[in-house]
Structure 1
Amino acid sequence: MSFVRRAATVLAATTALTAGLALPALAHVTIQPGSAEQGGFTKVAFRVPNERDDASTTTIEVTFPADHPLAFVSVKPVPGWKVKVTEGKLPTPVKTQYGELKEAVTKVVWSGGKIEPGQFQEFEVSMGQLPTDTEQLVFPTKQTYSSGEVVDWSEAPKTDGSEAEHPAPLLKLTPATGDDAHGAAPSTAPASAAPSVAPAEPAAPAAAAGTTDGTARLLGGAGLAVGVIGVVVGALGLRRRPNA
């Protein structure tokens, strides 16, 4: 019994430790989804949780990468929040398939709203064309609370794989695959449309088979009735036959 109790205690402690280590990671400012294809366009959401019990988040400031500028950036309105998109000249113009890019979005700021304790908010952004010469984009973010505290989520990923204390939102870029490599809109027609309709055609033969079977049963029943009538008539005939 003592062994079982010790095992239960160790399991409980391990679970608590694991939960304790996981909770801070869930509270970080992150990008959802965390990956996109190189060379295409994507829509992401900056997910911002409130980490304080006594203050609300009132301002979110996201800095866009200058080393890999994005030619097209648009934001989705968030009820109760004002958004300001700032563009600036690039230190060095960047050549893209749309021409030479001299200016790009450098910062997006959401303000005027509130993320209360125990809540989170998502701020959606559509952007592209994503670069093809890097495997990730880093978006340093500042989170301001109603108490005046500013949390700077700007630490780059560590080379040893461990997590930084205040990691910057990170978008991983994967090699493009298929016809959507350059952000082309995929077809909205479902791939399984033809197979889903095809099985409906055998309905007519099925109905015919049912009709044939019903007809056979009807004829069989009629024949049986005729046979019974014949037997009855024969029996009556024998009973009425005079004795020799």
Structure 2
Amino acid sequence: MNASSYASRKPLSSRALRAVAVVAGAGVASVLLAGPAAAHVSVQPQGEAARGGYATVFVKVPNERDNASTVKLELNLPTEHPMTSVMPQPVPGWRAEVTKTKLAKPLTVHGKQVTEAVSKVTWTADGSKIGPGQFQQFPLSLGPLPEKADQVVFKALQTYDNKEVVRWIEAAEEGGAEPESPAPVLELAAAEGHGHGAAGDEAGDKASDQAAKDDSDDGTDATARVLGVVGILVGAAGVAFGVLAGRRRAS
């Protein structure tokens, strides 16, 4: 192979490398762009959802279809951890319905016996839809959350206006790949600052100790002020007595 032949082949090799790079980049881009397309129904807390407490969550519902709109969502709450207080926030263009179920075993909440718990919340389009390329959030206040669990698993049914129903009910296995239609999961944080559990008791004890200390300080300050006033009065009386005694001697 002569020098001229090698020189003529070198530019071709560079072009080939650029072509491979373009193909590889396109492959990476297609993988990255596939992420948003796999969006699913989820439950996201406002701030943190603490064990044993109450939380406001947002049920996020994306539309994954190009030729249909979402017109209904059913969110099923777990029966093993019944929640007695579930309140949806009104969303314009949607009608919310709360379904309650009788408990097999009554619960005691805030000193009251509760025989029913919410088992499902349904949002139905009432003048609005979730169109292609859009999503909708449904705010929901719920509780009390489980005290001895790390998460709450919901199940959701998403209905489109072409009668298709997507069932978001598959539980993810630890260490395994994400299911095709995963169930919405609400992660729970440690119980702090809401009066339930050991952390709440500890906070209550600290507050009581501080209140007792403040009362003690207030009592000490009041005593000091009284003694100060008495001292001033005694001093003034002594001065007046001395003045009168001097006048009597002078006369």
The answer to whether TM tops 0.5 is: yes
1:139 alignment partner, one of 154, 161, 174: 154
For normalisation by structure 1, the TM-score amounts to 0.67
SS of the residue corresponding to residue 6 of structure 1 reads helix
Distance in 1 between residues matched to 2:73 and 2:129, nearest whole Å: 10
C-alpha change, 1:173 and 1:11, in structure 2 (3 Å) is same
SS of the residue corresponding to residue 143 of structure 1 reads strand
Check conservation: 2:51, 2:191, Cα contact below 8 A. yes
Larger displacement relative to structure 2 (133-142 or 33-42): 33-42
Equivalence for 2:169: 154
Distance in 2 between residues matched to 1:117 and 1:12, nearest whole Å: 25
Shift of 1:25: 3.3
> Is it true that 1:120 corresponds to 2:132 in the alignment?
no
Higher RCO structure, 1 or 2 (CA under 8 Å, sep 6+): 1
C-alpha change, 1:36 and 1:25, in structure 2 (3 Å) is farther
Check conservation: 2:62, 2:136, Cα contact below 8 A. yes
C-alpha change, 1:67 and 1:9, in structure 2 (3 Å) is same
> Is it true that 1:45 corresponds to 2:58 in the alignment?
yes
Deviations 1:194-226 (A, max 9, x none): xxxxxxxxxxxxxxxxxxxxxxxxxxxxxxxxx
Give unpaired runs (5+ residues) of structure 2: 1-13, 201-251
* Aligned counterparts, 1:1-244, within 5 A: 1=14, 2-3=16-17, 5-20=19-34, 22-26=35-39, 28-33=40-45, 36-111=49-124, 112=126, 113-177=128-192, 179-180=193-194, 182=196
Shift of 1:94: 3.5
Q: Percent identity?
A: 42
SS of the residue corresponding to residue 152 of structure 2 reads strand
Count of residues in correspondence between the two structures: 181
C-alpha change, 1:161 and 1:173, in structure 2 (3 Å) is farther
Kindly indicate which of the two structures has a greater share of residues assigned to helix. Answer: 2
Shift of 1:7: 3.6
Check conservation: 1:66, 1:106, Cα contact below 8 A. yes
CA root-mean-square deviation: 2.3
Distance in 2 between residues matched to 1:64 and 1:150, nearest whole Å: 18
